[in-house]
């Protein structure tokens, strides 16, 4: 097969954007040029690599295999470039990180310190729900992934770097806010406001409830920590939420951390990437930065 590296970059842009025109813009070529080069790649491979359905590009099995290969080659080339820059005394390049939504409460602070030390590094940060991050992890789209519940069915390099206590909160004006030693069974009739199925927080909560043989009688599911917190502040019920999603003074958000036996649920933040993946020099430096800074960040107070 006679395919140039630039053509592979173009095909990778197609796989990531799902559009020929978007891939052309990403590679700074005209759409006719992009279409011609993509056709040449398909002819060289000898199999269709994609099809357009409802104006959206869908990769064939051969296309998926090519995208995976092109992605690995591009990552190796980028890592080589970073090593050469290092030999020249330069630190520049691109870092791609995907994090679950709850991590957005502390990752920007850690990124800010990293960027101030390495101003020539371009950073792409994807903030998604857990399913979105896991999907990117399966496709090996980023350098590093940050989540509280890594998938068990993927062979991963996994490093714990920060505690993630999950606390039970209620409205600041609720009678529960002033009680001590509340038991979980006594809350059976109280509405529990929880994150959606599949989120890292929800997985930890469901696991904890199973161990406690506890099943709330009334449930409400919401898709973001902000919505959960506001619903609790509005008196709709109680919720289990990461302490990182709360202000230093939860009362300023209209909520209170409840003193309930068995809480907080102990959880951790993980830095993961596919096992066997060779991290770029920049990714290695960023991972070390996260671990070092996590000790200074520390969890918020959660009784």
**Domain 91-163+268-297 -> CATH class:** alpha beta
Whether the ω angle into residue 264 lies within 30 degrees of 0, i.e. cis, is: yes
**Domain 5-65 -> CATH class:** mainly alpha
Give pLDDT tens digits for 11-56. 999 998 989 999 999 999 999 999 999 999 999 999 999 998 878 8
Question: Mean per-residue pLDDT for 122-145?
Answer: 93
Better pLDDT: 210 or 75: 210
Residue 121: strand pairing partners = 93
Q: Reply yes or no on whether the pLDDT at 300 is more than 60.
A: no
- Same CATH fold assignment for domains 5-65 and 166-257: no
Residue 78 confidence (pLDDT)? 81
Rg (C-alpha) for the chain, rounded Å, is 23
Residue 89 confidence (pLDDT)? 53
Record the pTM.
0.72
Q: How confident is the model at residue 208 (pLDDT cuts 50, 70, 90)?
A: very high
CA angle 252, 257, 260 (to 5 degrees): 165
Domain boundaries, the chain: 5-65, 91-163+268-297, 166-257
Cα 144–chain centre separation: 9
Give the residue from 163, 211, 171 showing the smallest Cα distance to 193.
Answer: 171
Structurally, at CATH architecture level, domain 166-257 sits in 3-Layer(aba) Sandwich (3.40)
Cα 56–chain centre separation: 25
Q: Are 110 and 297 in contact (CB under 8 A)?
A: yes
Q: Are 225 and 245 in contact (CB under 8 A)?
A: yes
């Amino acid at each position: 097969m006679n395919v140039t590296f630039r053509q592979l970059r173009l095909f990778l842009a197609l796989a990531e954007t799902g559009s020929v025109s978007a891939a052309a813009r990403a590679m700074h070529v005209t759409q006719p040029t992009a279409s011609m080069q993509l056709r040449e790649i398909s002819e060289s491979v000898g199999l269709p690599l994609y099809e357009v359905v409802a104006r959206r590009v869908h990769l064939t099995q051969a296309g998926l295999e090519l995208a995976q290969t092109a992605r690995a080659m591009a990552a190796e080339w980028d890592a080589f470039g970073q090593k050469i820059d290092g030999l020249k005394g330069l630190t520049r390049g691109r870092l791609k990180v995907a994090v679950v939504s709850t991590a957005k409460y502390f990752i920007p602070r850690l990124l800010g310190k990293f960027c101030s030390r390495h101003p020539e590094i371009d950073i792409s940060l994807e903030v998604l729900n857990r399913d979105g991050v896991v999907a990117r992890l399966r496709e090996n789209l980023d350098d590093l992934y940050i989540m509280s519940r890594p998938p068990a069915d993927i062979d991963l390099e996994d490093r714990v770097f920060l505690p993630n206590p999950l606390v039970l909160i209620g409205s600041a004006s609720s009678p529960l806010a002033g009680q001590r030693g509340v038991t979980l069974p006594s809350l059976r009739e109280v509405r529990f406001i929880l994150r959606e199925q599949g989120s890292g927080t929800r997985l930890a909560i469901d696991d904890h409830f199973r161990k406690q043989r506890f099943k709330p009688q009334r449930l409400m599911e919401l898709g973001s920590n902000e919505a959960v917190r506001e619903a609790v502040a509005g008196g709709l019920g109680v919720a289990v939420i990461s302490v990182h999603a709360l202000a230093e003074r939860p009362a300023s958000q209209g909520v209170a951390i409840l003193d309930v036996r068995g809480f907080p649920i102990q959880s951790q933040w993980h830095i993961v990437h596919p096992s066997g993946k060779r991290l770029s020099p920049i990714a290695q430096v960023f991972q070390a930065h996260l671990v070092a800074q996590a000790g200074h960040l520390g969890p918020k107070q959660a009784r």
